[in-house]
């Protein structure tokens, strides 16, 4: 059957888990696996677990309850150990690492920011600012059969797009990092050139959200900022 893992806490965490249950149908009963310094909140792993809405919500409900009372390291949905004994062994083996992570995330939440830019606006900017792009564009318009010029134009535009995205990524993260404890890059999507998570102290959450709002306002309507949070600090565990 296996042991399903929700989160890891310090041994002194209050672990107020009454009234909530775990994943599966019927919902699994929560229990703890303890060592001297750490505690893992677990349940029996249901057979053929899938990321159904009910199970994902139950997984996060456990983590939200734990995080409301203290530091917790949230595990990704679907993490299953062989049994409770294996979980206890891992807690002992990686004790120092887990304790360090618990100290880092204590009192913090994760905020995930994604940013996209209107492609037409970006291409107009490149055309306006790059004399070489304008030259190649004029040549391909005058001579539609100029294959080499078309290839060179496409490669140059691609390089310009990536360079401008990289500058924007660096600028945005640098301006927002001052209100965060740490940042963690997330693989950008096809649409978003920036996807990054910020670890933010609870008392600085309002200041961080305001900083994101101000940055979005300064960049204008051609940029699309999407901020999600507060979330369990998955990216920093």
Summarised one tens digit per residue, pLDDT across range 35-68 is: 999 999 999 999 888 888 999 999 999 999 999 9
User: Helix, strand, or coil here: 111?
Assistant: strand
Tell me, what's the pLDDT at 147?
A: 81
| Residue 189 in this model has a pLDDT that exceeds 90 | no
Predicted confidence (pLDDT) per residue in 78-101, tens digit: 999 999 999 999 999 999 999 999
| Whether the Cβ atoms of residue 232 and residue 63 lie closer than 8 Å to each other | yes
Tell me, what's the pLDDT at 73?
A: 96
| Whether the Cβ atoms of residue 181 and residue 201 lie closer than 8 Å to each other | yes
> CA 143 to CA 59: how far, in whole Å?
60
Tell me, what's the pLDDT at 142?
A: 83
> CA 185 to CA 193: how far, in whole Å?
11
Average pLDDT in the chain: 93
Mean pLDDT (whole number) for 174-200: 91
User: Helix, strand, or coil here: 13?
Assistant: coil
Tell me, what's the pLDDT at 127?
A: 93
Tell me, what's the pLDDT at 237?
A: 84
Which has more pLDDT, 180 or 237?
A: 180
Tell me, what's the pLDDT at 3?
A: 96
- Residue % of the chain over a pLDDT of 70: 100
Q: Which two tokens stand for residue 84?
A: 């409770």
| Residue 34 in this model has a pLDDT that exceeds 90 | yes
Mean pLDDT (whole number) for 181-192: 87
| Residue 32 in this model has a pLDDT that exceeds 90 | yes
Which class for 71: exposed (0-12), middle (13-18), buried (19 or more C-beta within 10 A)? buried
Q: Which residues contact 44 (CB under 8 A, 6 or more apart)?
A: 1, 2, 3, 4, 24, 28, 29
Tell me, what's the pLDDT at 144?
A: 77
| Residue 152 in this model has a pLDDT that exceeds 80 | yes
């Amino acid at each position: 059957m296996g042991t399903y893992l929700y989160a890891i806490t310090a041994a002194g965490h209050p672990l107020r888990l009454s009234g909530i249950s775990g994943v599966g149908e019927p919902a699994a009963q929560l229990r703890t696996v303890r060592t001297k310094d750490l505690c893992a909140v677990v349940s029996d792993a249901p057979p053929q677990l899938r990321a159904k809405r009910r199970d994902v919500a139950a997984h996060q409900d456990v983590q939200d309850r734990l995080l409301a009372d203290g530091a917790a390291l949230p595990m990704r949905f679907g993490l299953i150990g062989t049994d409770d004994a294996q979980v206890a062994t891992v807690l002992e083996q990686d004790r120092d690492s887990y304790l360090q992570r618990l100290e880092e995330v204590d009192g913090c939440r994760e905020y995930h920011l994604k940013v996209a830019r209107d492609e037409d606006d970006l291409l107009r900017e490149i055309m306006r600012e790059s004399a070489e792009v304008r030259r190649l564009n004029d040549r391909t318009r005058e001579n539609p059969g100029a294959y080499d010029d078309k290839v060179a134009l496409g490669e140059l535009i691609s390089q310009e797009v990536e360079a401008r995205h990289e500058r924007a990524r660096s600028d945005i993260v640098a301006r927002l990092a001052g209100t965060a404890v740490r940042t963690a890059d997330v693989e950008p999507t096809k649409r978003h050139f920036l996807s990054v998570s910020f670890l933010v102290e609870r008392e600085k959450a309002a200041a961080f959200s305001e900083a994101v709002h101000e940055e979005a306002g300064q960049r204008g309507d051609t940029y699309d900022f999407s901020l999600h949070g507060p979330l369990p600090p998955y990216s920093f565990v």
